[in-house]
Amino acid sequence: MKKLIYNIHLILGLVSGIVVFIVAITGCLYAFKTEIESVTQTYRTIEVQEKEILPPSALKPVAQAVYPEHHMHGIAYGSNDEAVEILFYEPDPLFYRGIILNPYTGEIIKVKNYEKDFFYFVLQGHFQLWLPRHIGQPVVSIAILIFVFLLITGIVLWWPRRGAARQGFVLKWQAPWKRRLYDLHSVMGFYASLVLLVIALTGLVWGFQWFSKGLYNLTGGEKELEFSVPHANAAGSASAEELNPLDFVWYKMLEDYPDAAVVEVHFPHDETESIYAHVSPSAETHWQTEFRYFDPNTLEEIEVEHMWGRLEDATTADVIRRMNYDIHTGAIAGLPGKILAFFASLIAASLPVTGFLMWWRKRKEKGNLRKELDI
């Protein structure tokens, strides 16, 4: 049975190795995106001024003038010493830009092309191998599903016998290089296996709909998983004395969440779509994000049937799903969690390499033996 498991482990490892390596390495690079950008993007920090921050209606025309033919996706406000960013995003053909402005003056600080951004490039590799999404994303998902199987079979193959149990948990640095290679693959793989299983399984939530829905239902979820923006009420009409609908939503979010770290308001694509906004108490994690939806004509709040609504309305299953991204990146445990996820991903990237080297060595030794025996 172990020989059969070994052969399956070997074949599947060779098939998925390159994809697993790319996904793991890009995951390592992406792990500290927030920390790296806070150091490299100093232009996002501005001087606090003794006047009011400009609302969305005042900043929207400034950004629209830069790209008049494109739709604005949303505007994100941070703390009082942070620049505001208005995002333009269109998926097909791809158009992804950011206009970074001074929230006190409306002055444009920087126009950012996210299509050429380093971390956007890394994320595209991590999610779809820099291939078209309909090709790359399924390939990644299948490779990660195989990787889950490899982790489980790897533990079965590695599990030491009774007499060797104590030695099986230790890296033997003084041993010959062949033994060190085996230990790097098996022992390091074992120590990282639990964290890697969590990372891989949370990654599969985005990979397969059947896995995503199955896991959600297993935890007791009953709502719609797919995010959607509700329609507006075309019959209604806000009073002329009321604030601009975008400003109304923004002020409403500020009033309801005075301690929010991030407030983001999204612009409707057309007259039939409502305005949605979300706030988060932390810029480091996402699971506590509050999603709210407002009719731009009546300024009334709209309830949604999917799980992306208010946190107070979330069930246990909804909270678990909301935590998926933060668990996947390790951010759920703060900086220590990110460090743990980083090193686990680094080990994951090494597993295909050490596994291939062990297979290549055995293959070469068998070839040399055949030559010696003149077979």
Q: Can you read off the two tokens belonging to residue 147?
A: 């990787």
Cβ atoms 1, 153 nearer than 8 A: no
64-81: pLDDT as tens digits: 999 999 999 999 999 999
Q: What is the DSSP pairing of strand 84-90 with strand 72-77? A: antiparallel
| Among the listed residues 206, 230, 74, 199, the one whose alpha carbon sits nearest the alpha carbon of residue 136 | 206
Mean pLDDT confidence for 250-257: 96
Euclidean distance between CA atoms 259 and 72, whole angstroms:
26
Mean pLDDT confidence for 117-137: 96
Q: Tell which wins on pLDDT, 170 or 247.
A: 247
- pLDDT of residue 369 exceeding 50, the answer is no
Write down the pLDDT at residue 237: 56
Number of H helices, E strands in the chain: 11, 7
* Residue 75, φ and ψ in degrees, nearest 5: -125, 130
Mean pLDDT confidence for 234-254: 77
Q: What is the DSSP string of 171-193?
A: --TTS-HHHHHHHHHHHHHHHHH
Write down the pLDDT at residue 364: 75
The segment with the largest mean pLDDT, out of 165-169, 220-224, 232-236, 369-373, is 220-224
1-43: pLDDT as tens digits: 888 888 899 899 999 999 999 999 999 999 999 999 999 999 9
Of the pLDDT bands very low, low, confident and very high (cuts 50, 70, 90), residue 365 is confident
What does pTM read for this prediction? 0.89
| Among the listed residues 276, 191, 295, the one whose alpha carbon sits nearest the alpha carbon of residue 233 | 295
- pLDDT of residue 242 exceeding 70, the answer is no
